[in-house]
């Protein structure tokens, strides 16, 4: 098996990045984390990546001002130098141009802290609490030009408690993020995900029944 070479793009603490690095330590995992790129020199996740022995690059968007294409040209260079096959966005807080997204079509994944298509954008946990939803969660999807809108690869759900605050809910969702991101990357790296009419069809999905719906602790008996 040739393992896919993955770049993880971060802007902050990188806990999802760490979950991917941990999963890829298993030599049977179909992908290796070959590179971590941050657009922020002060991202704390960079230190975790270095500690794990992973190559890191900083492509500081501030240097390029509004020149998104110039920023992305440098990013693309780094990806090519490291012979990257797949990109995982993990808390990467920059919008990418249509040209870059097209170039990485079906080879770039993102994790979003909500059950898409609900709650696209920022402050998802606050908005979920305001809406009074009883189930919340996270989604891994292929990146398309429109934000938080690509074909869904995997989702994980958690219950919402009456006394939740945005931070207690965020912590519960984050635990699920750390499970579904490696799971989704595995499916993609194994070549089991095909996009048809905007939906992901997963080969062997029957064998995975329930695997993408994770409710920690299960649904309590009443
Ligand atoms: C996660 O909640 C992810 O879903 C969102 O940004 C956050 C990044 O957290 N896109 P971390 O840097 O992976 O810890």
Q: Give the number of the atom of ligand 1 that is nearest the alpha carbon of residue 11.
A: 12
The pTM of the whole model exceeds 0.75: yes
Cβ atoms 9, 95 nearer than 8 A: no
- Of 104, 124, 151, the residue that ends a domain is 104
Residues 71 and 135 in one domain: no
Q: What is the pLDDT along the chain (222 residues), one digit of tens a residue?
A: 799 999 999 999 999 999 999 999 999 999 999 999 999 999 999 999 999 999 999 999 999 988 999 999 999 999 999 999 999 999 999 999 999 999 999 999 999 999 999 999 999 999 999 999 999 999 999 999 999 999 999 999 999 999 999 999 999 999 999 999 999 999 999 999 999 999 999 998 665 654 555 555 444 444
CATH number at residue 207: 3.40.50.170
Which residue ranges have their beta carbon within 6 Å of ligand 1?
10, 12-17, 90-91, 111-113, 138, 174, 177
* Ligand 1 atom with the shortest distance to the CA of 16: 13
Point out the catalytic residue in the list 61, 82, 112, 161: 112
Mutate to test the pocket of ligand 1, among 113, 125, 179, 180 (most ligand atoms within 8 A of CB): 113
Looking at the structure, tell me whether residues 90 and 19 fall in a common domain.
yes
Q: Are 135 and 157 in contact (CB under 8 A)?
A: yes
Distance CA 81, CA 57 (A): 11
Q: Could you write out the three-class secondary structure of the chain?
A: CCCEEEEEEECCCCHHHHHHHHHHCCCCCCEEEEEEEECCCCCCHHHHHHHCCCCEEECCHHHHCCCHHHHHHHHHHHHHHCCCCEEEECCCCCCCCHHHHHHCCCCEEEEECCCCCCCCCCCHHHHHHHHCCCEEEEEEEECCCCCCCCCEEEEEEEECCCCCCHHHHHHHHHHHHHHHHHHHHHHHHCCCEEEECCEEEECCHHHHCCCCCCCCCCCCCC
Instruction: Please tell me the predicted confidence (pLDDT) of residue 1.
Output: 79
Question: Please, which residues bridge with residue 141 across strands?
Answer: 110, 152
The Cα 112–Cα 107 span in angstroms is: 17
Q: How far is the CA of 11 from the centre of ligand 1 (A)?
A: 9
What spacing in Å lies between the alpha carbon of 89 and ligand 1's midpoint?
A: 9
Q: What does the alpha-carbon distance between residue 138 and residue 128 come to, in Å, rounded to a whole number?
A: 12
Decide: 100 and 46 in contact? Cβ < 8 Å. Answer: no
CA 82 to ligand 1 center in whole angstroms: 24
Atom 12 of ligand 1 has which residue's CA nearest to it? Answer: 14
For 197, the domain range is 112-222
pLDDT on residue 65:
87
Together in a domain, 32 and 123: no
Asked if 93 and 70 sit in the same domain, the reply is yes
In this predicted structure, what is the pLDDT of residue 222?
A: 44
Same domain, 202 and 117: yes
Pairing mode, strands 56-58 and 86-89: unpaired
Residues 175 and 83 in one domain: no
What is the number of domains present in the chain? Answer: 2
Distance, CA of 49 to CA of 18 (rounded, Å): 7
Residues 163, 213, single domain; the answer is yes
Among candidate residues 86, 104, 122, the one where a domain is terminated: 104
Q: Using the structure block, give the residue that is written with the tokens 């390029």.
A: 64
pLDDT score at 105: 98
Question: Best of 96, 156, 177 to mutate for ligand 1, by most ligand atoms within 8 A of CB?
Answer: 177
| Boundary (domain end) residue, out of 104, 128, 148 | 104
Is 112 an active-site residue?
A: yes
Are 123 and 196 in the same domain?
Answer: yes
Whether residue 179 sits in one domain with residue 215: yes
């Amino acid at each position: 098996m040739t393992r896919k070479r993955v770049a993880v793009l971060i802007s902050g603490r990188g806990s999802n990045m760490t979950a991917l690095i941990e999963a890829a330590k298993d030599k049977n995992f179909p992908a290796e984390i070959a590179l971590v790129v941050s657009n922020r020199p002060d991202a704390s996740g960079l230190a975790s990546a270095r500690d794990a022995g992973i190559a890191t690059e900083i492509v500081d968007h501030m240097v390029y001002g509004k020149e998104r294409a110039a920023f992305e040209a440098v990013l693309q260079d780094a990806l090519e130098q490291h012979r990257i096959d797949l990109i995982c966005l993990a808390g990467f807080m920059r919008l990418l141009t249509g040209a870059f997204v097209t170039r990485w079509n079906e080879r770039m994944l993102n994790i979003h802290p909500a059950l898409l298509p609900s709650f696209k954008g920022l402050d998802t946990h606050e908005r979920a609490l305001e809406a009074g939803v009883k189930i919340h969660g996270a989604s891994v999807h292929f990146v398309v030009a429109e934000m938080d809108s690509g074909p869904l690869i995997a989702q994980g759900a958690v219950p919402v408690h009456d006394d939740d605050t945005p931070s207690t809910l965020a912590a519960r969702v984050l635990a699920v993020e750390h499970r579904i991101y490696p799971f989704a990357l595995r499916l993609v790296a194994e070549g089991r995900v095909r996009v048809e009419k905007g939906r992901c069809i997963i080969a062997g999905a029957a064998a995975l029944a329930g695997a993408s719906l994770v409710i920690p602790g299960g649904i309590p008996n009443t």
